[in-house]
Chains A and B, each alone.
Chain A
């Protein structure tokens, strides 16, 4: 199950089938009001829009963009529109010259270079890790 260091450097097509499955699972969940895929016949990416009830009034919208590739690379991008600012955080696995293959571009503005990281091998664990971290941030809005 280990992946060679070289093969991923060539890139891979988007994994349409994995995105289909993810869309099916997340669209049944009450965290999201809408999931867009921006393509007529094979998803480019999933834009998963969070239900506003998880946010106070000064947050306008929040969404998670999901892209997965056939070689297991991915990029997950959390984006929040506040009244005057935005908040962005990215979990990535792909070649880069700024970080190791697994890395995080932390909020508030998903700075490059980010932080080296070690994401789980299983794609479902990667996705649930991101959902858990987003939920922790959402809970933080209501901690007062």
Chain B
């Protein structure tokens, strides 16, 4: 990135002291957690394709024995799934992360609030369905759509990503609502 142009630099009559950059926590440390567990959780979140314990150890900046232990623990918790046995490879378990977020939605919102959020996301999704004239973002070929619609690949990619995000949110909200009413129904049955 370019250095600022001279006319932007602080001059002599600048009030206040120059900041002490050297006193800041280094960027490398800021983006990492403080504990071994954070390193392995970060590594697990980054596993968008199957990885071995030694690859995960590299990602975490920790030893391979610790990587094996954490992966086994994460697999029991559902954070990663075992993809192959020999060699053992693991991948991030998106289903678990979705489940965790659904629990959070149920804790933080009432059914009425969830319904309002769901309505908004559903309207967004309908907008994309109209715009692309197909039923699902997976049916869109980004490059083909870009050339056919005279838009840039980047613009179409942004819309398809936003569409997939809206669908992910709808799934989470619907699950939070379904399990909520399911619990209520169970309670009524029990009474």
A residues neighboring B (CB under 8 Å): 1-3, 9-14, 16-18, 21-22, 25-26, 29-31, 40-42, 44, 53-54, 56-59, 69-73, 78, 82, 87, 89, 94-98, 106-108, 112, 122-124, 127-129, 131-144
Contact = CB atoms under 8 A, between A and B. Distances in A.
Given A11-B142, A141-B10, A40 B2 contact: no
Q: Could you say which interface size class chain B belongs to?
A: 35 or more
Contacts of B3: 136-137, 140, 143
30 contacts: A1-B49, A1-B51, A3-B48, A9-B141, A11-B137, A11-B142, A11-B160, A11-B161, A13-B161, A17-B101, A18-B45, A25-B30, A25-B32, A58-B8, A71-B48, A94-B154, A95-B157, A96-B154, A97-B154, A127-B27, A131-B30, A134-B1, A136-B1, A137-B1, A137-B3, A137-B4, A138-B19, A140-B9, A144-B10, A144-B11
Contacts of A98: 152, 154
Interface in B80-126: 94, 97, 101, 105, 108-109, 117
B42 interface: yes
A11 B164 contact: yes
Interface in B1-46: 1-4, 8-11, 14-16, 18-19, 21, 24-25, 27-28, 30-33, 41-42, 45-46
Contacts of B15: 57
Contacts of A95: 142-143, 153-154, 157
B53 to A, nearest CB: 13
A3 B50 CA distance: 10
Interface in B140-186: 140-143, 146, 152-154, 157, 160-161, 163-165, 167-169, 172-173
A81 to B, nearest CB: 12
A42 B101 contact: yes
